[in-house]
Amino acid sequence: MSLRAIEWDEHKETLKLLDQRVLPHQSNWIECLNEEDVAAAIAAMVVRGAPAIGLTAAYGILLAAIQAVKNHEALWPRLKRAEKMLIAARPTAVHLQFTLEEMLKGAEQLEDSDKTISYLLSKVRKIEQEDSLSNRNIGAHGANWLQKRRGKQPLVLLTHCNTGALATADFGTALGIIRTLQERGSISNVFVDETRPYLQGARLTAYELEAENIPYTLITDSMAAAAMRLKKVDAVIVGADRIASNGDTANKIGTYSLAVLAKAHQIPFCVAAPLATFDWSLPSGEKIPIEERPAEEMVIWNKTPIAPQNARVWNPAFDVTPFEWISAIFTEEGVIESIADLERLHQRNTPSITM
Ligand SMILES: CSC[C@H]1O[C@H](OP(=O)(O)O)[C@H](O)[C@@H]1O
């Protein structure tokens, strides 16, 4: 079982989150008592990673229901207020919206009772189990695709940000493929982009790979091109926060440049994402909301300013990679390599398996 960052305490009926802002050198857990605590933890990136914040928000709805029952409050209005608060915590990852919709589906008729609590808890558990299963299926489809194209030789991969157990219910998406290849003895090395400014790569991905003895080499984001040219990178593999219906993909800032670099070096650029990442309401990536984070997160490191105090800063947390730059999208139900695959997925909500 890989690392877990989200734990439900059944006795205290509280949510515990591993504070990812202080990993890898400190292992602090933060306890959430209500939906406000959960929204604040998501906004502050205590917990981060598209599927992980979706799951955490689902627990936020459960906590709101528990508080409503305890205080004999009207349940539905509290759940609707909680939904509004949680969806506003971070705008880009579509999982937040989908898990909240899932949690509130059918909840309007619920009376404020313990029965409601166990009903909502079973829903959260289902979201958690589905994410975990999806990640293992993504792992298999992605590993099969990469091995099919690169033969049985162990692979040299490059990844960006963190898409592992810390970003999901467990196991990970792009990192789930890396874990699957490791289980098959097919990883030679993983180049890990540090991923400025939040350093998800250096602090979180390196932490996960180190814990499981998966061979990796940490690089700065600006080294990715040289690594592709000089270090025989076989493929780039990243996660996703929101995918539009034409395949345009929003992911951590720096992803788009990796896609351009991969094309220039004739290296496959692959995205790993569960079906919950697809936002069919968007015809293309232009309309994906891109979160901008506080300037301090970019110009202050360890309480030390690394830029002039009045420096003007642009700090988008994500960028959008047009589908034309993407070789394959690995989902739990198969591989998407073309617009036709996307259209079939959209019609049937399951992609054509092109394995
Ligand atoms: C499993 S996908 C995780 C996805 O979320 C990350 O963003 P953040 O750390 O800001 O939540 C990054 O875009 C990853 O690809």
Query: Is 168 close to ligand 1, i.e. is its CB under 6 Å away?
Result: yes
Tens digits of per-residue pLDDT, 216-263? 999 999 999 999 999 999 999 999 999 999 999 999 999 999 999 999
pLDDT in tens, 6-18: 999 999 999 999 9
Protein residue whose Cα sits closest to atom 7 of ligand 1:
49
How far, in Å, from the CA of 341 to the mean position of ligand 1? 24
R_g (Cα) of the chain, nearest Å: 20
ipTM score over 0.90, yes or no: yes
At the topology level, CATH places domain 140-348 in Rossmann fold (3.40.50)
Summarised one tens digit per residue, pLDDT across range 284-296 is 999 999 999 999 9
Q: Can you tell me which atom of ligand 1 is nearest the CA of 239?
A: 15
56 CB less than 6 Å from ligand 1? Answer: no
Query: Where, residue-wise, is CATH 1.20.120.420 in the chain?
Result: 6-130
Whether residue 172 is annotated as binding a ligand: the answer is: no
Check if the beta carbon of residue 56 is closer than 8 Å to that of residue 42: yes
**Cα-to-centroid distance, 238 and ligand 1 (Å):** 9
What band does 354 get if pLDDT is binned at 50, 70 and 90? Answer: very low
Residues of the chain with CATH 3.40.50.10470: 140-348
Element (H, E) at 335: strand 334-336
Instruction: For residues 83 and 57, give the distance between their C-alpha atoms in angstroms, rounded to a whole number.
Output: 8
Lowest mean pLDDT among 19-23, 37-41, 107-111, 344-348: 107-111
Asked if pLDDT for residue 355 goes beyond 60, the answer is: no
Candidate CATH numbers 2.60.420.10, 3.90.226.10, 1.20.120.420, 3.30.70.1450; the one for domain 6-130: 1.20.120.420
Phi then psi for residue 174, to 5 deg, are -60, -40
What's the 20 CA to ligand 1 centre distance in angstroms? 12
Helix (H, G, I), strand (E, B) or coil at 350: coil
pLDDT score for 2 = 60
The burial class, CB within 10 Å (0-12 / 13-18 / 19+), for 40 is middle
Does 241 sit in the ligand 1 pocket, CB within 6 Å?
Answer: yes
Question: Does the annotation list 67 as a binding residue?
Answer: no
Give the model's pLDDT for residue 315: 98
**Model confidence at 353: pLDDT above 80:** no
Q: What is the pLDDT of residue 352?
A: 42
Averaged pLDDT, 172-191: 98
